[in-house]
Amino acid sequence: MARRLILSGNDAAAEAMRQIDPDVVAAFPITPQTELMHKFAEFVADGDVKAEFVLVESEHSAMSATVGASAAGARAMTATSANGLALMWEIVYIAASMRLPIVMPVINRALSGPINIHCDHSDTMGCRDSSWIQLYSENAQEAYDNVLQAIKIAEHPDVLLPVMVTFDGFIISHTAEVLEVLEDAEAREWAGEYKARYSLLNTDDPVTFGPLDLQDYYFEHKRQQVEAMKNARRVIQEVGEAYGKLSGRSYDLLEAYRLEDADTALVALGSTAGTTKVVVDELRDAGRKVGLLKLRAFRPFPGAEIKAALGGVKTVGVLDRAISFGAPGGPLEKEIKAALYGGEQTVGNFVYGLGGRDMSMGDIKSVFDELDAISAGTQSVDEPRFVGVRG
Amino acid sequence: MPGLKQLAQREDLMSAGHRACAGCLPMTAMRQILLSAGKDTVCGCTTGCVEVVTTIYPYTAWKTPFIHNAFENSAATISGAEAAYRSLRKQGKIDKEINFIAMGGDGGTYDIGLQALSGAMERGHNMLYICYDNEAYMNTGIQRSGGTPRGTATSTTPAGKVIPGKQQYPKPLTDIMIAHEIPYVAQATPGYPKDMTDKIEKALSIEGPAFMNVLAPCTRGWRYPMEESMDIARQAVETCFWPIYEVEYGKIKVSRKPKEKVPIEEWLKRQGRFRHLFREENKHIIAEIQAEVDRKWDWLLKREELSQS
């Protein structure tokens, strides 16, 4: 029996963490992740969880301690945002290379500088090559559901890679919404018990973690990470289906929204996907054949599924909430274009919402209008467009 | 505390065939650490010589569990492992006693790892941090660190025509750790193995965080014949350049008070890294180093007296 609650995204992720009850959580405060940790701290203080809560002196140490805990066979989690993720950067790669199934909510926030506490995706996009699985969430419900699924994906023996569950800072993290959560017993059964294959605490069968790995093996180990990431595509789908049976909410690598007969479509990540759905409905009511492709898994990148989902679409607009300076397009657009290579689609790129700049329904509607202009050949797609920016 | 004969009968938990230089005292320190700590010990080490020479994949010299994470986070990594142990123990999933030892060279401890070390000590993890201090970044090619003595010629503070080696005195790391008011802090050196191993056992037996700073001469970086490593380490104590002492719950006890303090010049002249100090125009630096050694030694003795009263 599910329970319906009113929770912010941060509280929803904290609720999932309470139910999972990991062995170790190590964290350092950064806006907008703070309230997630406040909530978890209350669970610790009230004895609702058994987790050791390690309040470290930096995000670098948060990730380092999480690595140490996970290597010791514990189910270990942390959470961060923006500059915190940037400070962790070095160890983010190391966690993945040690094949540690760490789960980390990342509450998306613009990277400094200039300093800004509001949402964009520059933080997690910067980590896209780190060998972490990235699941983007549309709302608090998905943030909750994704955290619960993330542990199953990360710990799957064919995967053993860490997972970032991302959700938009303030827009999701600080906005209350009604969502369904599992009963504690259901969630605990779902989470099960983590049994690490290797543990630092097994002194009878000692292993070395993090050895020096030179020309003769490093490449093979990187190749194995590629294979694990490939396996993750299947495992994300399997876990999403199993979670659907448990909760009534199934998940896939992506979600096609009214795409079947769409001529134009947007591709979006995170909360903007939700806003876009409303705009799509309105435009559909007005007789326009529009749709949305919401990408849930950015890593692994489901290229074939994207190509299939956008197969009938003539003009595609890709919404990027991050800039890849000096690159021909935003990070999402480049990969969507690569996935569609050889297809008939025209692809336009729209950079939006940097530093928390609002992306209103009107803005999204104007992007659809621009896609119509692109379809008509009156607007070029040579350069990315910047939505709602002055000058 | 076991004697050296008893220690020698214990299983050697560092295998032969690792790739350290002959005469490497950090590796002697590792052997002494493992003999004291025993097999139920989780070790972690920063990036540096010890990690490099012991873990070239697919080989490892460690017969205990070992983790290398990065350069600056050995303390944070082991604090996470120790937290995992506490959690699993609380849940009844593990019941044996396990020691947690984080290690790092002077670069990974005095400099880039100081923040993680300070944080781990402040949080009170039941772990021992050991700095193997060979007084420069040896692994990357002998660059100066915050632990490098004044006057030392390194790759980044060469003995030049204008600047005769490192200008600064080393950071007082052991004092910084004493100021953390943790249960146990000590200075030691593998040159005095009984003292060193006793301190390790004591540090591990005390509940809460402990720190040891261990002078571990490097034949390549200090430029002396490799067979002199142990003697150089001992003479550092006899000159009072590297006093060996312990601080247990705030009480200082100097472990060895040389009957006759050997002049620092005797120690410096054996090492190529100080050769330039013996040029006429630099000799005043030796006098200044001697004055600093004397000042610090006298202050240590005074603090010992004060802390015991």
Bridge partners (DSSP) of residue A168 are A108
Is the Cβ pair B84, A23 closer than 8 Å?
yes
A254 Cβ contact partners less than 8 Å away, ≥ 6 residues apart: A293, A294, A295, A296, A297, A302, A305, A306, A309
pTM: 0.98
pLDDT of A206 over the 90 cut = yes
Nearest to A210 among B68, B85, B94 (CB): B68
Instruction: Report the candidate in A95, A122, A97, A124 with the shortest Cα–Cα distance to residue A111.
Output: A122
Q: Which two tokens stand for residue A279?
A: 């705009």
Q: Which residue of B has its CA nearest to A221?
A: B57
- Taking the C-alpha atoms of residue B25 and residue B30, their distance in angstroms, rounded to an integer, is 9
User: Which of A64, A212, A217 lies at the smallest CB-CB distance from B77?
Assistant: A64
Contact A53/A80 with Cβ under 8 angstroms?
A: no
Of the candidates A26, A77, A94, A205, the residue with the CA atom closest to the CA atom of residue B51: A94
- Amino acid A12: pLDDT: 98
Name the CATH architecture for the domain at A254-386.
3-Layer(aba) Sandwich (3.40)
Q: For the residues B145-169, what does the mean pLDDT come to? A: 98
Cross-chain Cβ contact B88/A50 below 8 Å: no
Q: Which of B56, B79, B98 sits opposite A54 (nearest CB)?
A: B79
What distance in Å separates the CA atoms of residue B90 and residue B40, rounded to the nearest whole number? 18
* Two structure tokens written together for B111: 């400099």
Tell me, what CATH number does B59's domain have?
A: 3.40.50.970
Contact A210 B94 (CB under 8 A): no
Question: Is there a contact between B42 and A203 if contact means CB atoms under 8 Å apart?
Answer: yes
pLDDT exceeds cutoff 70 at B80: yes
> Cβ of B99 under 8 Å from any chain A Cβ?
no
Please judge whether A23 and B91 are an interchain contact, meaning their C-beta atoms are less than 8 angstroms apart. Answer: yes
Give the tokens for residue A245: 């049976």
- Determine contact: B88 vs chain A, CB below 8 A: yes
Task: Express each pLDDT in A47-66 by its tens digit.
Answer: 999 999 999 999 999 999 99
pLDDT score, position A1: 65
DSSP state of B74: H
**Average pLDDT of chain A?**
97
HSE-CB at B154 with a 13 A cutoff on CA atoms is 25
CB contact, 8 Å: B89 with chain A? no
Q: pLDDT-derived band of residue B61, with 50, 70 and 90 as boundaries?
A: very high
- What angle is formed at CA A15 by the lines to CA A11 and CA A18, rounded to 5 degrees? 135
Instruction: Inspect the interface and report whether the beta carbons of B80 and A69 lie closer than 8 Å.
Output: yes
Q: How large a percentage of chain A has pLDDT more than 70?
A: 100
- Cβ within 8 Å, pair B68-A52: no
- B123 at interface of A, judged by CB pairs closer than 8 A: yes
Q: Which amino acid is at A237?
A: Q
* Residue extent(s) of CATH 3.40.50.970 domains in chain A: 3-190+210-247
Q: Is the pLDDT of residue B3 over 90?
A: no
- Which two tokens mark B247? 């601080």
Over range A266-292, report the average pLDDT.
98
Q: How far is CA B37 from CA A16, A178, B7, B40, B128, in A?
A: 40, 54, 11, 8, 11
Candidates B65, B83, B96; nearest CB to A206? B65
Q: What's the structural domain count of chain B? A: 1
For residues A322 and A124, give the distance between their C-alpha atoms in angstroms, rounded to a whole number.
9
Select from B144, B220, B233 the least CA-distant residue to B190. B233
- Residue A195, phi-psi category: left (phi > 0), alpha (psi -120 to 50), beta (remainder): beta
Domain that holds residue B176: 4-308
Task: Kindly report the CATH class assigned to A3-190+210-247.
Answer: alpha beta
Supply the pLDDT for residue A139: 98
Alpha helices in chain B (DSSP H): 4-9, 25-37, 49-54, 74-90, 106, 114-123, 173-178, 193-205, 219-222, 229-238, 264-268, 283-308
Identify the H or E element spanning A168. Answer: strand A163-168
Q: How confident is the model at residue A102 (pLDDT cuts 50, 70, 90)?
A: very high
In chain A, ranges of CATH 3.40.50.920 domains = 254-386
- The predicted-structure confidence for A339-370, as pLDDT tens digits, reads as follows 999 999 999 999 999 999 999 999 999 999 99
Measure A285 CA to nearest chain B CA, in Å. 55
| Contact at CB, A67 and B52, closer than 8 angstroms | no
Is the confidence at residue A391, as pLDDT, over 80?
no
Inter-residue contact B227 to B23 (CB < 8 Å): yes
Characterize the bridge pairing of strands A3-7 and A177-181: antiparallel
Instruction: Give the bridge partners for A346, in sequence order.
Output: A315
pLDDT (average), residues A358-387: 96
A316, containing H or E segment: strand A315-320
